[in-house]
Structure formats: C-alpha cells, structure tokens
C-alpha cells in the first residue's frame, strides 16, 4: 500500500496539474486540512529536482496565503469554524495558554511553530483569534514557511537521484519517520499548551 501511494505521488508529479495540486494542499494545510504538503513536495522534487525551487516557492506562497485565511477564520469566525478546527486538531484545551504564550513570546511562536510539525493551521487560527499584528504574521510566516519548504527542496535538489534511491530503498522507514513526526507535532501541541 505504501509503495502504491509513493508511486501515485510520483505519477502525479508528471501531470500538468501537479503544481496546482501541490499549491492546493499547501493552502488547505495552513487553514483547514490535516495533511501537510511535504509528501507531495518530496515526490515532485525527487521526480524533477531541477524544479525544486519552483515547488518550494509554490508551497511557501500558497501556505502563507492559506495562513492568512486561517488568521481571518480566527479573527472573524473563531466561535464557529475556528474553534471546531482547533479542537479537532488537538488545540482545544490550549487556547488560553497559547494566548499567554503569544503575550510573552509573540513572534517566536510563529517562527518556531512554522518550522515544526505542530499543525500550522492552529498557529494561523489562534494568531487571528489572539489579535496578533497581521502584517508581522504574514512576514514571519513567509520567513518560517519559506525556510521549511526551501530547506526541504534544497536538500532533495542537492542529493537528486541519490535522495530518490534512498527514499525508494527505505520507503517504510521514511514513511514511519514522517508519520511519527506528524503525530509528534499533534502531541506536542496537545501537551505543550
């Protein structure tokens, strides 16, 4: 099943609409969707290493745009959809702790959480709910999300075929590390705040 999923991701990489799918996943992950775009970014980059920078740029721009939507959900619709999303993804009990964390650490919250596997949608929604300055939210999101996606794409671009062969030989281990990291992000969010 894992091999079929990987092969499916590689096949999507060759489709003319692949960049649109990547952008849509990245956008949705920042506001409502639980799955990050990283597996598709990985597959597309190992399939086409010369396009790594384009893929990282698409992920960054669409992630920050989705983050703006998440911010607006938190600012205007927290009591309805925003609260539901936060509770669904494990941050329901932590809203007041998060607001206190923002009051003390502000910008560091966005910078650190944008790089980690902690669900970014929680950060975007709670940033809007907390009333964090929108301009600085966007600037810091560009920095942190850009760093994450460009570092991933840069590593995969640099190692090119070697990265693809490593991933294909160790697909189960790579998938386990990804899932553990993703679940770990949710757990950290749950117990950190």
Domain count, the chain: 1
Report the predicted TM-score, pTM, of the whole model to 2 decimal places. 0.75
Domain that includes residue 51, residue range: 2-192
Other beta carbons within 10 Å of 89: 19
Give tens-digit pLDDT for 145-186.
Answer: 898 889 888 888 877 777 666 766 766 666 666 656 655 555
Please give the Cα distance from 4 to 93 (Å, whole number). Answer: 38
Euclidean distance between the first and the last CA atom of the chain, given in angstroms as a whole number: 35
Q: Flag whether pLDDT at 68 surpasses 90.
A: yes
Q: Flag whether pLDDT at 99 surpasses 90.
A: no
pLDDT at residue 90 in the model: 58
pLDDT at residue 88 in the model: 63
CB 184, CB 116: distance < 8 Å: no
Give tens-digit pLDDT for 107-144.
Answer: 766 666 666 656 777 778 778 887 888 998 899 889 98
Q: Sign of the C-alpha dihedral, residues 90, 87, 129, 76?
A: positive
Confidence of residue 40 (pLDDT cuts 50, 70, 90): confident
CB 28, CB 85: distance < 8 Å: no
């Amino acid at each position: 099943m894992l091999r079929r999923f990987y092969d499916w991701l590689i096949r999507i990489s060759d489709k003319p609409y692949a960049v649109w799918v990547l952008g849509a996943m990245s956008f949705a992950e920042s506001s409502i969707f639980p799955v990050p775009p990283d597996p598709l970014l990985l597959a597309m980059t190992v399939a086409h290493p010369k396009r790594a920078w384009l893929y990282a740029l698409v992920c960054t721009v669409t992630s920050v745009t989705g983050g703006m939507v998440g911010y607006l959900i938190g600012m205007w619709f927290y009591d309805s959809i925003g609260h539901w999303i936060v509770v669904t993804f494990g941050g329901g009990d932590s809203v007041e702790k998060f607001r206190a964390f923002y009051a003390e650490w502000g910008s560091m919250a966005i910078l650190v959480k944008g790089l980690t596997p902690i669900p970014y949608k929680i950060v975007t929604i709670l940033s809007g709910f907390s009333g964090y300055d929108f301009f600085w939210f966007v600037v810091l999101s560009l920095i942190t999300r850009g760093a994450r996606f460009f570092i991933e794409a840069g590593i995969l671009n640099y190692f090119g075929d070697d990265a693809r062969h490593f991933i294909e030989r160790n697909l189960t281990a790579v998938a386990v590390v990804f899932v553990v990291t993703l679940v770990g992000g949710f757990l950290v969010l749950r117990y950190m705040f």
